[in-house]
Chains A and B, each alone.
Chain A
């Protein structure tokens, strides 16, 4: 089974620009979660999509948005980039959504997209 794939792997943008990151989950997985990873802050939850619906949203400004398509692929968009948005953006997929009562399926992570904002 192919793993979670993320494109592009590296991006360099300048302040004020916008960026779109893409994530393809493991085949059959319907839940996709996005995280921002920065040194010292660990992984901070951005949002989760399940069956094209946003189930959860983390504490990030409205400049961060996402969506999920009918084939479970997901995109996240960051508008009006700031220097502080430089980070590794990770996507994870799982079969059921997070917090499923009785059992939580492991989240499988992609390699991430390294975003640098200059």
Chain B
């Protein structure tokens, strides 16, 4: 079965620090890749997505992610975090194999301190 691993359970950063959250998946074929964010008390919303083409994907709020096919990775980055980035971040993978659902990682909680 496909699986998604997010290496960090909880990350604590100071404002202006750089962020990188790891995501690895187990599926060997073609995949769609997503990062979702859940701010405290809010809906899960899409940060960015990768279907094909340029492996460096830019999303909302200054986030970007790089798809490295050889490493089965899709790490999320932001050069300078803000207090408002405090949230839970979920990586998700959907294989191109037709009848398969979206598989989420267990999430990484990011706390940004002033």
Q: Is the CB of B104 within 8 A of A99?
A: no
- Main secondary structure on A side of the interface with B: loop
Q: Which residues of B contact A42 (CB under 8 A)?
A: 90, 104-107
How many residues in A have their beta carbons less than 8 Å from beta carbons of B? 28
B37 → chain A, closest Cβ, in Å?
11
Q: Does B22 lie at the interface of the complex (its beta carbon under 8 Å from any beta carbon of A)?
A: no
- Partner among A41, A90, A99, A109 whose Cβ is within 8 Å of the Cβ of B94: A99
Scoring A residues 94 to 118 as 1 if CB is less than 8 Å from chain B, else 0, what string do you get? Answer: 0001110111101101111000000
Q: Does A58 lie at the interface of the complex (its beta carbon under 8 Å from any beta carbon of B)?
A: yes
Q: Which residues of B contact A (CB under 8 A)?
A: 32, 34, 36, 42-46, 49, 51, 90, 92, 94-107
Q: Which residues of A contact B (CB under 8 A)?
A: 3, 33, 35, 40-45, 48, 55-56, 58, 90, 92, 97-99, 101-104, 106-107, 109-112
